[in-house]
Amino acid sequence: MTAAQAGRQVRLWGRRQEIVDEINTHNRNTYYLSDIALPAELSATTSMAEAVDGCDCVLMVTPSTSVREVARKLNEVLAPGVPVIVCAKGVELESGKLMTEVAGEELPGHETGVLSGPTFADETAQRLPTAVTVASQFDYCKDLAGEKILAARLAVSIGTETFRPFISDDVVGVEIGGAVKNVLAILCGMIDGAGFASNTRAALITRGLNEMKELAVALGGQRETVTGLSGIGDLILTCSNPQSRNFSYGVQLGQGRAREDIFDGRPVVVEGIANAASIKRLAQARGVSMPIVAAVYDIVHEDKALAETFSKLWTRPFEAEPRAISIELPHPLGSDGARRLEELMT
């Protein structure tokens, strides 16, 4: 919708024929944006070859677990040299690779970039002011002419009076922000569902941001990027609003709802579930401490109790906040403090 509103010719590829037919016939997608009319010039098809025929750029807006499969199919039909922008947020479990790395492996000869940021789909579709980060690799000293920079070209192509892209050369930092925030949002949701309030959520967001920074730097990204739209911007949005599927999933877990009953049993993609495992594994491989991510992993994948897991997280040894200060002090209450907090939660 945003690209079409910016004056671009847009074709959507979709798996489900009924959704494609509804878009083409009624300019609606009742499954995802039930109350919003789609631009009449927006078309859809189940044929990937038809979708990308003659295109200048491809935006991959698939779940992170599908990026490799879709990119492999895309490589069979995409014309040489057409750039690909990855909008999925995550880390591949088996390889520990970021989404642009996965897409790049399957799409040799195609430049890749990433689009990420605080964007609830329905608000963007309603043309409420929204800002994102678009990143691609470029040499700032050599590529000052914007037409040479993929991120800049995309920003100009899809920017509108309400949709404002910012340009970055830090693909790694942008991707880490988008992937980690989904995991953090699950725990923020669980704490909310369990009855805790703003103090706890603010602390989790802030310390989660620190974990995000450490992993980004370990992978060659920039700490500054994580304090931008694709990091703290997306983190604040996702960790504090029930429109976020990750946050909502966590809320329902925190309320004690059985997993098979979450979202009333509907199949909903919650990226943070898969990414809790992939990011925990990646962090361990890089020697990065991410206790909040590890706590989400223990609850979601190891079936550990929320009260026990959170209590252990909250009563870890005291640390200094500036990472330059190396201090670790035992918690004065020790294991008794964790037990008392666990009792309070239950």
Alpha carbons 152 and 169: distance in angstroms, whole number: 10
Q: Which of 89, 97, 181, 280 is catalytic?
A: 181
Three-state secondary-structure class, residue 168: strand
The alpha carbon of 265 is separated from its chain's Cα centroid by a whole number of angstroms, namely 23
CB 136 within 8 A of CB 247: no
User: What is the bridge-based pairing of β-strands 43-45 and 11-13?
Assistant: parallel
Mention every residue, 6+ apart, whose C-beta is less than 8 A from residue 63. Answer: 88, 90, 269, 271
Q: Which of 274, 326, 323 is nearest to 300 (CA)?
A: 274
Cβ neighbourhood burial of 150 (10 Å; 0-12, 13-18, 19+): buried
- Angle of CA points 111, 90, 33, to nearest 5°: 90
Rounded Cα gap, residues 312 and 14, in angstroms: 44
| Separation CA 127–CA 5 (nearest Å) | 9
Work out whether strand 84-86 and strand 43-45 pair parallel, antiparallel, or are unpaired: unpaired
Q: What is the CA radius of gyration of the chain?
A: 21
Is residue 142 among the annotated active site residues?
A: no
Q: Are 238 and 246 in contact (CB under 8 A)?
A: yes
Adjacent-strand bridge partners of 28: none
Query: What number of other Cβ atoms are within 10 A of residue 337's Cβ?
Result: 16
To which residue do tokens 């009742």 refer? 30
Dihedral Cα 159, 164, 166, 171, nearest 10 deg: -70
* Nearest alpha carbon to residue 107 among 57, 46, 172, 180: 57
Active site (catalytic) residues: 181
